[in-house]
Amino acid sequence: MDTATATISPIDGASTGEDRQPLAWDHEAFQNLVDRDTGVIGRVVSSEKEPAGSHEFFFWAGDDAQTLDVGHIVVAFSEQAAVIGVVDEPRRYSDLRSFLDDYFDRHMENALSQSAPTVRPEILVFTVKVLATRHLRDDVQSHRPAVNGPVYFANETAIRFALGTHNFTGAEIPALMHTNGNYERDDDGDILFDDEGRPRFQRTPLFLDEDYLLGPEAGHANWTGQSGLATKTSHALFLIGSVFQTMERENTTVAAIMFNVKGPDLLWLDKPARPDPAHEGAYTAADWKGLGPDDLKAYASLGLRPEPFEGTRVFAPFRPGMDPQPVNGTARLDGFSDHQALNTARQAPGETDRVFPILWSLKTALAFPHKVFDFSDLDDKMWG
């Protein structure tokens, strides 16, 4: 009986047969995923205690990879797939057994009249959380860990693939602009510069699937972060504006109802970021810096226009003691024109035309307080 023996090439590229298979990072199918201009920024490393896995791997960064940091997206390789992941925890290693070793070494160096002839070597190792893999065959979903090999910055094509844009079932809604650690270049490979004359980092538009943001698959978004510092409201407003412009192109109508609980932030959504000359003084007084060329370029990259919200209507409650008294149990608001009675910061001429009064009765809610309020704060919310 005839037998056949399969020829297997080791990952280091040394062929064990007549035909040498190309290494994954040299394969033509993966060249459009990595930033070859920047080149190799590190090398995948695995050890007995910290092996590479299908969801996580490690790499040491080259000494010249000074722009590499947490949140950047990189590409490594398994035998037949590109492994795309986001950089996470950095750790710096040396050959010190304990902190005391460096303490005593430093005292010895200070006692010498000359500088030490050598510098203790250190390496910087990053953890990478795998986002996606792309196999040579489009009908194979690979989960094989990254092998010891080069690591590159991911380009825009790799980032879009890793975030699943190709699997969207709804419209692509621009949501964020990701900044990577590699520099943006022109068609000739020359580095581009920002408004301040600094090398401009690669920026990639990130999108959300309409069917997951607006439904029917999920239909929600959450923002978390420290109050006052995380730009949660700013990004929520940006995303809503992005939804409006995207759905307008899709000939779909969308509306937003916002409940303002944090001061006047949401009262000026109909005001443009780039004011008319007649209103520049008010913007200057509010310390508004405006949109620079880089900001406008980012909007253009996302396919959006830096425009205010259209059709904005503000519903404001009455100031204490200024609400209309009911007649026969009904308070009428039709024909209302006394905007000074409303508890709103929109009082200047030309700002009240989009402000409308609102009244509501607590009678029904007071009959069922446990349906509206948590039992632990009934006293605070009902009786102050």
Report the pLDDT value the prediction gives residue 178, as an integer from 0 to 100: 97
**Confidence grade of residue 266 (pLDDT, cut at 50, 70, 90):** confident
DSSP bridge pairs for 44: 59
- The CA distance from 266 to 279, in Å, is 19
As a whole number of angstroms, the distance between CA 78 and CA 137 comes to 13
Cα(20)–Cα(15) distance, integer angstroms: 5
Asked whether residue 337 carries a pLDDT value surpassing 70, the answer given is yes
Confidence of residue 12 (pLDDT cuts 50, 70, 90): very low
Using CA atoms, how far apart are residues 299 and 261, in angstroms rounded to an integer?
28
**What is the pLDDT at residue 10?**
40
Per the model's pLDDT, the better-predicted residue between 242 and 348 turns out to be 242
pLDDT band at 113 (very low <50, low <70, confident <90, very high): low
Q: Which residue has the higher pLDDT, 253 or 108?
A: 253
Candidate from 19-23, 39-43, 114-118, 158-162 with smallest mean pLDDT: 19-23
CA distances from 371 to 12, 360, 368, 377 (A): 66, 17, 6, 13
Q: Is the pTM of this model over 0.85?
A: no
374 or 41, higher pLDDT: 41
User: Among all chains, which residue has been given the structure tokens 């607006």?
Assistant: 214
pLDDT tens digit string along 36-90?
999 999 999 999 999 999 999 999 999 999 999 999 999 999 999 999 999 999 9
Mean pLDDT of 355-364: 84
Show me where the domains of the chain are located: 21-166, 252-383
* Mean pLDDT on 144-148: 96
What proportion of the chain, given as a percentage, has pLDDT over 70?
A: 88
Question: Cβ-count burial of 75 within 10 angstroms (0-12 exposed, 13-18 middle, 19+ buried)?
Answer: buried
**Phi then psi for 175, rounded to 5 degrees?**
-125, -35
Burial of 353 (0-12, 13-18, 19+ CB in 10 A): exposed
| Six token digits for residue 112 | 């010498």
Contact 345, 268 (CB under 8 A): no
pLDDT for the residue 19: 53
The pLDDT of residue 13: 42
Of all residues in the chain, the percent with pLDDT exceeding 90 is 55
State residue 9's pLDDT score: 39
Give every CB contact of residue 355 below 8 A, 6+ residues apart in sequence: 313, 314, 315, 316, 339, 342, 344, 346
Per DSSP, the chain holds a count of helices (H) and strands (E) of 9, 10
Q: What is the pLDDT of residue 88?
A: 96
At residue 254, does pLDDT exceed 80?
Answer: yes
Q: Give pLDDT, residue 1.
A: 46
- Does the pLDDT value for residue 335 go beyond 90? no
Per the CB < 8 A criterion, the answer to whether 155 and 34 are in contact is yes
Q: Over 70: is that where the pLDDT of 383 sits? A: no
Residue pLDDT, tens place only, 157-185: 999 999 999 999 999 999 999 999 999 99
User: Nearest-5° angle of CA 320, CA 366, CA 258?
Assistant: 60
- What CA–CA distance (Å, rounded) separates 300 from 245? 13
- pLDDT > 70? residue 118: no
Selection from 84, 86, 56, 78 nearest residue 144 by Cα: 78
CA-based end-to-end distance of the chain: 92
Closest Cα to residue 166, out of 84, 242, 249?
Answer: 84
